[in-house]
Structure 1
Amino acid sequence: MKHAFVFPGQGAQFTGMGKAFYEQSPKARDLFGQANELLGFRISDVMFEGSEADLKQTKVTQPAVFLHSVIGFLCLENARPDMTAGHSLGEFSALVANGALGFTDALKLVSIRANAMQKACEITPSTMAVVLGLDDAKVEEICATITDDTVVPANYNCPGQLVISGTKTGIARAMELLKAAGAKRVMELAVGGAFHSPLMAPAQSELQAAIESIAFNTPNCPVYQNVVAKAVTDPAEIKQNLITQLTGAVKWTQCVQAMVADGATRFTEVGPGKVLQGLIAKIDKTAATDGVSDTLELAVK
């Protein structure tokens, strides 16, 4: 019986996020202070009082979700993960939770990643769409038929839910083909660009240089990384997988399946919202799930 800690990615943000932690914990207040200084602006004010539009800017969203998750985890008294994983951006939170990265180093990388991705989004008009009720293999097959545009599977969220990523024109064509193939629903997402696709390649060199400049520790427990969907403990491999993740698919379904196969029976989501808890329940109905989103208490279920 192993306890997995999992961390959400971009899209889970909400106005007021992290404020409860700030009010409950002197340690949380200190960590928010460090973040404000490192980032050069008061991200805590944006998180606590900012509008939905303020929080949707990639350069704000990614550090905000990371801070909510990591500060929540670091302020827990009895959090002892046997394994960790994060969805996309959440992988950086998972690496703080298992000791591979320190708080400030991880925040620097998240900020660099967010700004590099923002710039990549501005180069090519691109987007993402969620596909519901179609087998992964069928979605992959349809994406592969569009050869004159970029369209790729990006997020394997749970069985029957796959997000695709690509150019605006490519996604529009794929959406029509997927509907015709019998998808229950195909919906374009309100995102800045084609994350986890080859269109993020311009961001890779900047992120790679930043990652290579930082020393990663050998983690206290394995991280199940998005691009390989298996336990990883080697710092060099962790670094390479983080770089590859920018243009590679998030294999969340496969990560959860691998954690269950390796003994995980309880999953605790730390960070804004309950998205991962919902996905995990659909991936494996036997897994127990709970979350830490607004109070610094680890429920036992």
Structure 2
Amino acid sequence: MSIEHEPEVRDVLRQILGEMKQINGRLESIESRQKQIEESIATLAVNEDLQKMVTQQTATQIQAQLLARDQPAAEKFFSTPELLETTLLKLPIQDLLLAQRVCSRFKATIDGSIKIRRALFFAPEPVAKEWEAVPRMNPLLTQDSQFRRRRFLFTEVAPGCGRYGEKCAFRPTFHIKGGGVRVECKHIVHFLYDAAYFSHGSWKEMLVAQSPKWVHVKPERPHWIRRDIYPQSAPTIGEVCKVAHGKRVPNVRYILPASHQGAEGLSDYPLAYLRLLRGTISSEHTRCKNPRLRRGRRPGAT
């Protein structure tokens, strides 16, 4: 090779080396693509075997997880039961009670969560030591709450309130006293304008309080029998209303007046006891109406 042809040879060699580098780069790209194809084939094979092994429920869950990648953040948030439960527990009890009307997902979460049911007073809270339990009143039953929300709890017609009319009902108010709950029953002659009459509803299943040691029902009329409930578990509002109306309820102990504690066999059924004392009650009413027959005065005294 002569000296005059040496530059031309160098140019040809450089061109060949450049083409070889391009070929090597293409080969590496082909090998990388081939590996990706092989991995995809292996993944498809594994998925095919997995679909044969998993149940329909598991396949649905996997499909839901794949579809969740394209869902908005809010949908992902409310689709997670733990996050939805935590959020609902932050709501006030009135909003939490109405949240089950939002959608079927909310209702299913509320019905299936023991924490939410305890917050709504539908389930009792666990107590480590019974004698150390501190009762907690249902916030919807306090008198301030009822007046603030303009929603008042009325019950059916109470026994012996005929002088108030056939539509008479009484409104119980609840108070924490010591280790128990005190219930005072007041007759309502007419319903208030914005008052709601709850003859049916989920309120009957709500607990009066969490961890009460006793419930004392105080009627409006003094000659009615005082009724104390010593429950094995916290009583519901419906059970307390039944006791106030003199109906038989399990796990109830009736405290008779001191002057009539000698009556036997009737302490578990107040209506029968009232029938037994009908004559005594009538005579007491007559004495109260007639000034000359009032207690402490003798007939003929001025």
Structure showing greater Rg: 2
Q: Structure 1 length normalisation: TM-score?
A: 0.23
More helix by percentage: 2
Q: Structure 2 length normalisation: TM-score?
A: 0.23
More relative contact order in 1 or in 2 (CA 8 Å, sep 6+)?
Answer: 1
